[in-house]
Amino acid sequence: MFTKVLVAEDYEIANQGIIRVLQEEIGIQNIEEAKYCDEAYLKFRKALQDQTPFELLITDLSFKEDHKVQTRTSGIDLIQDIRKIQPDIKVIVYSQEDRPDKINMLFDVHTIDGYVCKGQQAIKELVDCITGVFQGDTVQPPQLADRNTNEMIHLDDLDMILLEELSKGFTKKEIRVKLQEQKIKPNSESAIDKRVSKLFDDFKAKNTTHLVAIAKDLGLL
């Protein structure tokens, strides 16, 4: 079982609840906590420098703002930055977010290892999730397991490039030129048109601004 875990959660009650589950239900004793993403990141860096790295990160997605200026303001920011310095870290998201599309994006784009939705079954699901992730499984919540996979949105590298370039204000023609210069295929006008149209359909976006807003809300940008 995991021996060193960091819990990033800004609500004290939820934080202590997770720690109690880790200690009493699973038997993990070496647990540190952080109420801010920057604080969690610094603890990861120090643990790596001390050659005593964390094995598991359990993090919420949203963190309340206060007087402190934070470089990382969300769980997604934290996951991305920690993965840059510790690529093999196991990550479980523990959040109130229950939208299947947003949860699915966390697995597809941010390659999290497990997800637990806060609720009546959260304690049991958290124990099962930690156990499964330790065994090498990717543990999805019932919100995804019970949904038809054909209904889910799956994005590849080209889709992500298109979303990023559209968010910067580039036109499809300008994006096509950039793809051709970088030798990224497919890069024909018709291929890009089809991809962008599919993104509009998948996300039910009315226009480019709406599409970018949805992508940002899902943590894709």
Beta strands in the chain (DSSP E): 4-8, 30-34, 56-59, 90-95, 114-117
In this prediction, residue 121 carries a pLDDT of: 82
Alpha-carbon torsion 154, 159, 163, 164, what sign? positive
Are 131 and 27 in the same domain?
yes
Which residues 6+ apart lie within 8 Å of 119 measured at CB?
none
Are 24 and 76 in the same domain?
yes
In this prediction, residue 66 carries a pLDDT of: 66
Are 80 and 179 in the same domain?
no
Number of domains in the chain: 2
Are 35 and 83 in the same domain?
yes
In this prediction, residue 130 carries a pLDDT of: 96
**Pair 60, 8: CB distance under 8 Å:** yes
Are 53 and 160 in the same domain?
no
Are 168 and 141 in the same domain?
no
Are 29 and 99 in the same domain?
yes
| Rounded distance between C-alpha atoms, residue 199 and residue 213, angstroms | 13
Which residues in the chain come in under a pLDDT of 70?
66-69, 145-152, 219
In this prediction, residue 51 carries a pLDDT of: 95
Are 105 and 194 in the same domain?
no
- Among the three residues 149, 180, 209, which one is the final residue of a domain in this structure? 149
In this prediction, residue 5 carries a pLDDT of: 96
- Among the three residues 99, 116, 149, which one is the final residue of a domain in this structure? 149
In this prediction, residue 102 carries a pLDDT of: 82
List the CATH number of the domain containing 108: 3.40.50.2300
- Domain containing residue 203: 155-217
The per-residue pLDDT for range 2-46, each reduced to its tens digit, is: 999 999 998 877 778 899 989 999 999 999 999 989 999 999 999
SS3 139: strand
- Among the three residues 128, 149, 170, which one is the final residue of a domain in this structure? 149
Q: Is the overall model pTM greater than 0.75, yes or no?
A: no
